């Protein structure tokens, strides 16, 4: 009352004269624009402005690294880049591409097209239409003309009478006159939700339904830097049908062994289907059949950062049958050589022992290698030793590689931290729902830290054929990415394939913007340790704290091993002078033909994934 009186008698009239801005479009709003008809295909963008903002951020980030790669090519010759030569060509053309993108974005921002109301591209047998938010129907044609697009010459537009605030454009007057919003938004949404079970459609920035020879339904959700792409399988045929029969969605019990910030692969298969396809399993001796019958179908392969190790976990309902298998395996001790064949000074040890905390030790088999400078180098630089431990405890048969006896004590049972902590929200939700049948998660943050850079420089000093500066530039291209995840879910007889790209930051918060700027500074040669330690100090309780610590190098080489992908790069880089026989201190005979560096890396990928 008092505020209104103070404003004067004309306040209400003035307010009424200014039309209220239309609210941002929802997914329901956009689906209501779709015409009815079984052959209708559409792609709906809920907030094109947000997608343009992320595009602008990406263009701004990559301008520096790609320009530096182009400059490296100019000074060292394109041949110095090898298979990366295409990056130099992209770098040379990048400025023009960025200029064009900036022009389009500026024209959109200054046009009468209301990006907050969304855009829908609709196609059927008779027409191809664009429906967009605007009170000026010709605004899209004017925009195309300003951009020099030939479509502007034939484009015809008009307001949508049944959807105030929207306009439609097409190639002919007949097409746009025939357009009618179907009013079947709820039914369309229900159909999409049935095709994409478990996907939060209300959070989607892009929703698409393509009714072509192979019908396809997909959505892109964006939440706090988690960009997740969800694609419904078109049909259950061929490999997909085979996968559906073998995979068995369920709660990921073994993910409890995953430590925050580490990479892993998890899957669950149907033991009954596996046994039916392998009838010989049913005739195994009793000492093995009990173990096979206890398998739950779960498998988890992952990295561990503290200590540096790799782990394989196979789910069992009962660990007792493993004892007879362990006893039989221990009888093979006499078959294990005392040294690695052909490598002077190496030693191998094989024993049955116990491992674990003092009050909870379990029987285990241990295979260890020593006496080789390369092994000691791995231990010194990566904290990774050539020790293998096989045991059964905490509902799993476990194989742990890289940790000594003391370090393995803490890996016998699952850690206290939840395995879902730190995962992209979209992946965590899917795993928690029990709809997931297989998942791969690869953290990329350790690749941006100081540890890998140090390893590359030391490898160069030891004779490895590696250019640390070029490697830094190439690795820096992944600077905005915190992790990449791929998973398959099944619900209501529908299979959905999901891909998540988790960014180190986002555009919706001050912290998110600061994190993206820090990553950009590192890609330009900045001090990763200083920049991300500063972020940790400013945001100590951040959900991204684990990622910041990895980029600051707080976990040392363990973070590289824990990421799994980092372990592959680190080991391959360190091993390269060994494989080429260029390091005199390491007595490794070179047996022609020389094994290229790529081969051990491929073997590691195969073993881990």
Q: Which of 147-151, 173-177, 428-432 has the lowest mean pLDDT?
A: 147-151
Q: What is the dihedral of CA 126, 130, 131, 135, to 10 degrees?
A: -120
6 in any annotated domain: no
Taking residues 377-388, report their average pLDDT: 81
Instruction: Report pLDDT for 417.
Output: 62
Looking from the CA of 402 toward its CB, the CA atoms found within 13 Å total 27
Same domain membership, residue 495 and residue 390: no
Instruction: Report pLDDT for 111.
Output: 77
Instruction: Report pLDDT for 422.
Output: 83
1 in any annotated domain: no
Same domain membership, residue 459 and residue 393: no
End-to-end Cα spacing for the chain: 68
Span 199-239, pLDDT tens digits:
999 999 999 999 877 778 999 999 889 999 999 976 556 66
203 in any annotated domain: no
Same domain membership, residue 449 and residue 325: no
Same domain membership, residue 445 and residue 407: no
Same domain membership, residue 563 and residue 526: yes
127 in any annotated domain: yes
Percent residues over pLDDT 70 in the chain:
86
Distance CA 109, CA 103 (A): 10
Same domain membership, residue 594 and residue 456: yes
State the total domains in the chain: 3
Comparing 69 with 133, which gets the higher pLDDT?
Answer: 133
Instruction: Report pLDDT for 480.
Output: 95
505 in any annotated domain: yes
Is residue 454 over pLDDT 80?
Answer: yes
Same domain membership, residue 57 and residue 112: yes
Is residue 584 over pLDDT 50?
Answer: no
Give the pLDDT band of residue 592 (cuts 50, 70, 90).
very low
Taking residues 128-147, report their average pLDDT: 90
Instruction: Report pLDDT for 45.
Output: 96
User: Other CB atoms closer than 10 Å to residue 302's CB: what's the count?
Assistant: 25
Q: What phi-psi label fits residue 188: left (phi over 0), alpha (psi between -120 and 50 degrees) or beta?
A: alpha
Whether the ω angle into residue 593 lies within 30 degrees of 0, i.e. cis, is yes
Task: Give backbone dihedrals phi and psi of 235, rounded to 5 degrees, phi first.
Answer: -165, 160
Residues 6+ apart with CB under 8 A from 594: 579, 580, 581
Q: Which of 124, 154, 178 finishes a domain? A: 178
13 in any annotated domain: no
Give the pLDDT band of residue 20 (cuts 50, 70, 90).
low
Is residue 11 over pLDDT 50?
Answer: no
How does the average pLDDT of the chain come out, rounded?
Answer: 83
- Residue written as token pair 């180190």: 504
Burial class (CB in 10 A: 0-12, 13-18, 19+), 473: buried
Is residue 128 over pLDDT 50?
Answer: yes
Comparing 591 with 370, which gets the higher pLDDT?
Answer: 370
Q: Which of 163, 178, 193 finishes a domain? A: 178
Q: Contact at 8 Å (CB) between 33 and 166? A: yes
Residues 6+ apart with CB under 8 A from 72: 80, 81, 88, 469, 470, 473
Give the pLDDT band of residue 565 (cuts 50, 70, 90).
low
DSSP state string for 390-432: EEEETTEEEEEES--HHHHGGGSS--SS-TTTTS-HHHHHHHH
Percent residues over pLDDT 90 in the chain:
45
330 in any annotated domain: yes
User: Other CB atoms closer than 10 Å to residue 90's CB: what's the count?
Assistant: 14
DSSP state of 319: S
Is residue 571 over pLDDT 70?
Answer: no
- Residue written as token pair 């992790």: 483
452 in any annotated domain: yes
For residue 439, the Cα-to-chain-centroid distance in whole angstroms is: 10
Task: Give backbone dihedrals phi and psi of 268, rounded to 5 degrees, phi first.
Answer: -135, 125
Residue 598's domain comprises: 439-608
Is residue 511 over pLDDT 90?
Answer: yes
Same domain membership, residue 404 and residue 283: yes
Query: Number of helices (H) and strands (E), helices first, in the chain?
Result: 23, 18
Is residue 4 over pLDDT 70?
Answer: no
Instruction: Report pLDDT for 578.
Output: 42
Instruction: Report pLDDT for 238.
Output: 62
Is residue 166 over pLDDT 90?
Answer: yes
Q: Which of 392, 411, 430 finishes a domain? A: 411
Q: Which of 51-55, 124-128, 285-289, 512-516 has the lowest mean pLDDT?
A: 285-289
Span 354-370, pLDDT tens digits:
999 988 899 999 999 88
Same domain membership, residue 256 and residue 171: no
Distance CA 445, CA 552 (A): 9
Instruction: Report pLDDT for 486.
Output: 94
Instruction: Report pLDDT for 604.
Output: 28
Q: Which of 58-72, 353-367, 440-454, 565-579 has the lowest mean pLDDT?
A: 565-579
Is residue 566 over pLDDT 70?
Answer: no
Span 253-282, pLDDT tens digits:
999 999 989 999 999 999 888 888 888 877
Distance CA 147, CA 131 (A): 19
Same domain membership, residue 468 and residue 358: no
Same domain membership, residue 443 and residue 557: yes
Same domain membership, residue 401 and residue 445: no
């Amino acid at each position: 009352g008092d505020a209104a009186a103070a404003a004067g008698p004309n306040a209400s009239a003035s307010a009424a004269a200014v039309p209220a801005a239309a609210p941002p479009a929802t997914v329901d709003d956009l689906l209501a624009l779709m015409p009815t008809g079984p052959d209708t295909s559409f792609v709906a963008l809920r907030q094109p402005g947000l997608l343009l903002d992320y595009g602008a951020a990406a263009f701004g980030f990559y301008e520096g690294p790609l320009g530096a790669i182009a400059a490296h090519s100019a000074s060292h010759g394109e041949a110095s880049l090898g298979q990366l030569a295409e990056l130099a060509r992209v770098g040379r053309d990048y400025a023009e591409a960025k200029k064009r993108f900036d022009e389009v974005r500026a024209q959109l921002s200054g046009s009468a097209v209301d990006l907050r109301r969304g855009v829908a591209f609709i196609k059927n047998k008779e027409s191809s239409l664009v429906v967009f938010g605007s009170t000026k129907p010709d605004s899209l044609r004017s925009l195309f003309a300003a951009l020099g697009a030939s479509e502007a010459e034939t484009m015809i537009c008009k307001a949508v009478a049944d959807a105030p605030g929207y306009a439609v454009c097409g190639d002919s007057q007949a097409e746009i006159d025939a357009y009618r919003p179907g009013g079947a938004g709820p039914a369309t949404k229900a159909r999409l939700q049935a095709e994409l079970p478990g996907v939060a459609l209300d959070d989607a920035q892009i929703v698409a339904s393509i009714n072509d020879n192979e019908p396809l339904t997909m959505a892109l959700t964006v939440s706090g830097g988690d960009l997740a792409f969800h694609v419904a399988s078109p049909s259950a045929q061929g490999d997909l049908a085979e996968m559906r029969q073998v995979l068995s969605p369920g709660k990921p019990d073994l993910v409890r062994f995953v430590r925050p910030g580490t990479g892993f692969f998890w899957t669950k298969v149907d033991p009954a289907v596996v046994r039916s396809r392998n009838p010989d399993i049913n005739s195994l001796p009793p000492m093995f059949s009990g173990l096979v019958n206890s398998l739950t179908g779960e498998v988890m392969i992952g990295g561990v950062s503290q200590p540096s190790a790799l782990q394989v976990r196979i789910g069992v309902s009962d660990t007792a049958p493993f004892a007879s298998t362990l006893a039989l395996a221990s009888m093979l001790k006499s078959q294990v050589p005392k040294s690695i064949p052909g490598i002077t000074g190496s030693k191998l040890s094989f024993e049955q022992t116990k491992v674990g905390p003092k009050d909870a030790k379990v029987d285990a088999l241990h295979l260890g290698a020593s006496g080789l400078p390369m092994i000691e180098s791995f231990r010194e630089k990566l904290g990774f030793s050539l020790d293998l431990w096989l045991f059964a405890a905490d509902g799993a048969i476990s194989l742990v590689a890289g940790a000594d006896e003391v370090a393995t004590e803490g890996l016998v049972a699952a850690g206290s931290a939840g395995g879902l902590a730190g995962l992209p929200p979209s992946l965590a939700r899917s795993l928690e729902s029990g709809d997931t049948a297989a998942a791969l998660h690869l953290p990329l943050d350790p690749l941006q830290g100081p540890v890998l850079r140090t390893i590359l420089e030391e490898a160069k000093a030891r004779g490895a054929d590696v250019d640390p500066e070029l490697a830094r530039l190439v690795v820096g291209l992944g600077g905005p990415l915190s992790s990449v995840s791929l998973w398959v879910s099944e619900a209501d007889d529908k299979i959905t394939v999901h891909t998540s790209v988790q960014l180190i930051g986002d555009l919706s918060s001050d912290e998110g913007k600061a994190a993206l700027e820090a990553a950009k500074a590192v890609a330009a040669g900045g001090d990763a340790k200083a920049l991300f330690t500063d972020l940790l100090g400013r945001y100590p309780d951040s959900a991204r704290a684990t990622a910041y610590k990895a980029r600051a190098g707080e976990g040392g080489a363990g973070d590289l091993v824990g990421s799994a992908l980092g372990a592959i790069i680190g080991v391959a880089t360190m091993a390269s002078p060994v494989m080429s026989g260029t390091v005199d201190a390491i007595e490794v005979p070179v047996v022609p033909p020389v094994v290229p560096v790529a081969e051990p890396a491929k073997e590691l990928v195969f073993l881990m994934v």
